[in-house]
Structure 1
Amino acid sequence: MRAGSPRLLREINDRAAIEALLRNGPLTRSELEGLIGLSKPATAQLLTRLETADTVVRDGLRGGGRGPRAQLWSVNGTIAHVAAVDLTPETVDVAIADISGTVISEHRAPMPARHGVLEAFAEAVDKACGQAGLRTDQLLHVVVGCPGAVNPATGELGYAPHLPGWNGFDVPGRLRERLAAPVSVENDVNLVALEEMVAGRAAGVRDFVVVWPADLVGAAVVVNGVLLRGASGGAGEIDGLVIPDRASADTGTDRAGGTFGELLGNPSICRLAKAHGLASRNGHGAVRKALAAGPAGRGFLADLARRIATGVASVVAVLDPELVLLSGDIAQAGGTTLNDLVAAELRQLVVPRTPVRLALVTGKPVRSGALHSALAVAREQVFGLPAATTAPFRGPVAAGSPR
């Protein structure tokens, strides 16, 4: 196709309009005109063209004031649907959304301890689809976030002894067979990093690390705006990193070294809290009690920060990122107090003065990241939009302009 042809320009401007509607929600013609920079007649023609193709729909009126109410337009969400799944050893949490990003059903179910995991997973997705009036084979894409890493060569899930029943086979391939839909499986912390790039504290940051300092310790590495997955998919799998225990309180650990995951598992954190006179059933409960105790809980938080910073130091020394984000229950429970203690300890261990911040996205960051990832794939397939969800908005192209 010749550059600058009317058909090419229409396609480019149609995509720009669709992207503006997806980013901003329902818009009037004049609002869309201002965003994409087309004339009033050209924008009106564009909307007519997209409505005829069933790509956009009329979505109510925007009123107010003395003037007439203006027609609102939005992307037709029913064009395609996706699923986002957060899989843990205990549960599977599913959300079904239309291509506009609107979540239309949710379903959470327990996972069996070892046997029947594929069946339980498929039943949960099927239930969520049923609530949305869909079949699983009508999903355009499914993204699953889980603790572990898929080997791109084999599809097998590695670094995941905590997910019994999921080892030794092509996980995405088997799920595709079960659901009769395209499936991608991604590391859970990687999805948190994607969500932070889209809607969190890493927006506009090119090189950063997300660390999940809790049970099933993990990290995600983003270099030049791209997730680093590694040759076997295991980039950021720091749970097995052997580090010394630098906590001042004696909890019976081997001071010469233990794995990062062992030192930051719930049992180890609870033992550390007990050594400081704090009793709790889980790690985030211990952190909350320490914060409530004021100065009496400071020693425990400082020891916990030493353990976290010791593992993070290895990542920072190698990558020298712009930013380290702490995410997950432990980080959120500790808030800025624990975050600042980790930052202070890190400065004692490495030369780079990398800022340490709390991740901004809370609630269900893994599922939210999976949803953005699934939508990126769907929107690329349906609308031809760039798959990079953090790509800046691109306006229309004038005739004769270089692209």
Structure 2
Amino acid sequence: MTRPPAGPQTLLRSLNARAILEALARRGPLTRAELMGETGLSRTAVTQVLRMLETGEAVASAGVDRATHGPAATRVSLHPSLGCAAAVHIDHHAASVAIIDATGRVLAERTGPFPAMGDLSDRVDAVTALIGTALTPAGGPLRVAVVGVPGIVTRSGEIRDDQGPDGGAFRSALTTRLGCDVRMENDVNLAALAELAGTVATDLESFALLMIDDGLGAGIVIDGSLQRGSGGIAGEVMYLPHPDLPVGAPVLNEVVVADLALTNDRDPEAPLRLHLDAALEGDAAAIEMMAELARRLVLVAGGITLVVDPAAYILAGDAAHPAFVDAVRQAADDVAHLLPLAFRVSSFGREATLVGAVSEATAVLRETVFSAVLTRTDRTPR
């Protein structure tokens, strides 16, 4: 028994086609019978839509399924020509790139140095070179790039960091060089979005991710939605007023780490990671450093709690290091009688931003290519 039309035939075809495209993106190659189970469509509807999508080079044969009982069935998958996306994480020292297809499968990864203080062309060259070396013909053309950066990012893609506001110049230059849509996002926000699909926050309707990557930043999720703020400033907690510091002084960044190292007779030039490793090995001076840094982070968490009251805090980046996690939990215990705070460790640690960029790039790529496919097939004569 076939389903009765639920509206204009063009709309019905589009809805059915999108359901099949989404199923293939979500599950990978499927047989017609498996597509029926995934979408609830009849065999006739699946066959008609697949014929339309094959004509439009949106799907392609993916071999024969010989694992199931009965006659062998042909599998179909998304067509490679639909293209791929680039997920990019830029920090103060390096850039990492993952090339993905519409299923979210990572096709290639590259990491290289990034001239954080260089001029615009140097930074654009660094990112485009990494993406260029990672792209493969099998992945199809590049359709979109999602780029996570430190600093404040507005809805229009403008960045404000240590070098000041860029007026959208970096995004514009990348768009021109890559020849595709470029989406900019704050690195900590992407890390928070990654946790929405991870295992640590599955039972949390609201949480704040606290990430240390040179500086301290927060990604705030309320009722399952990331809070960016009207100007992209939400989560810039490194400069929250702190009882022991002048207004405007950073609570926790590389300068603070260097000062504490000097105070505790450790190397002020060493990165935080080395101090963390030393604390884990029992170095008393490094443990003292971690205690002070953790106390500052807990005070920041207390301030956030009094405003938005998240169910828990997720520690990411260098904050997910075991030595720092222990220090944070001890500092939280010291104030638990005043303000109970719950801390968890990120599912992805230092990779959280890139994981979030991959997730966002996958979603944007699917919407971009599926909308293009449906527009094209709707114009195809029947």
When normalised by structure 2's length, the TM-score is 0.81
1:198 CA displacement: 2.5
Give the Cα separation in 2 of the matches to 1:70 and 1:318.
Answer: 57
Give the Cα separation in 2 of the matches to 1:13 and 1:343.
Answer: 52
Give the Cα separation in 2 of the matches to 1:375 and 1:99.
Answer: 6
1:356 CA displacement: 1.8
Question: How many positions carry a matched residue from both structures?
Answer: 365
Whichever residue aligns with residue 363 of structure 2, its letter is A
Higher mean C-alpha deviation, range 288-297 or range 113-122: 288-297
1:358 CA displacement: 0.9
Q: 1:295 to 1:69 in 2, by over 3 A?
A: farther
1:311 pairs with one of 288, 300, 317: 300
CA contact (8 A) 1:118 1:175 kept: no
Unaligned runs of 5+ in 2: 373-382
Deviation track 1:64-90 (CA, whole Å, cap 9, x = no partner) reads: 476554433322243122222111222
Matched, 1:219 2:221: no
Residue aligning to 2:124: 121
1:34 CA displacement: 1.9
Deviation track 1:21-75 (CA, whole Å, cap 9, x = no partner) reads: 2222223333332222233443344333333332222223343476554433322
Give the Cα separation in 1 of the matches to 2:81 and 2:75.
Answer: 17
Residue aligning to 1:282: 271
Residue aligning to 1:261: 252
Deviation track 1:215-269 (CA, whole Å, cap 9, x = no partner) reads: 2111111223322222321110111123135xxxxxxxx6999521248843245
1:189 CA displacement: 0.3
Whichever residue aligns with residue 159 of structure 2, its letter is L
1:318 CA displacement: 0.4
CA contact (8 A) 1:214 1:329 kept: yes
Give the Cα separation in 2 of the matches to 1:319 and 1:6.
Answer: 47
Give percent identity, aligned residues only. Answer: 32
1:309 CA displacement: 0.4
CA contact (8 A) 2:210 2:319 kept: no
CA contact (8 A) 2:20 2:35 kept: yes
Q: 1:21 to 1:336 in 2, by over 3 A?
A: farther
Residue aligning to 1:324: 313
CA contact (8 A) 2:86 2:361 kept: yes
Q: What SS does the aligned partner of 2:239 have?
A: coil
CA contact (8 A) 1:325 1:356 kept: yes
Give the Cα separation in 1 of the matches to 2:42 and 2:283.
Answer: 61
Q: 1:45 to 1:215 in 2, by over 3 A?
A: same
Whichever residue aligns with residue 209 of structure 1, its letter is A
**Aligned ranges 1:1-400 → 2 under 5 Å:** 4-64=7-67, 67-112=70-115, 114-129=117-132, 131-133=134-136, 139-152=142-155, 156-158=158-160, 160-161=161-162, 164=163, 167-171=165-169, 172-203=171-202, 205-244=204-243, 258-262=249-253, 265-268=256-259, 270-271=261-262, 274=264, 281-293=270-282, 301-334=290-323, 337-338=326-327, 340-341=329-330, 343-345=332-334, 347-350=336-339, 353-362=340-349, 364-384=351-371
Q: 1:257 to 1:49 in 2, by over 3 A?
A: closer
Give the Cα separation in 1 of the matches to 2:176 and 2:56.
Answer: 32
Whichever residue aligns with residue 66 of structure 2, its letter is G
CA contact (8 A) 2:294 2:327 kept: yes
CA contact (8 A) 1:145 1:186 kept: yes
CA contact (8 A) 1:284 1:333 kept: no
Give the Cα separation in 2 of the matches to 1:214 and 1:230.
Answer: 21
1:185 CA displacement: 1.4
Q: 1:101 to 1:298 in 2, by over 3 A?
A: same
Residue aligning to 2:378: none
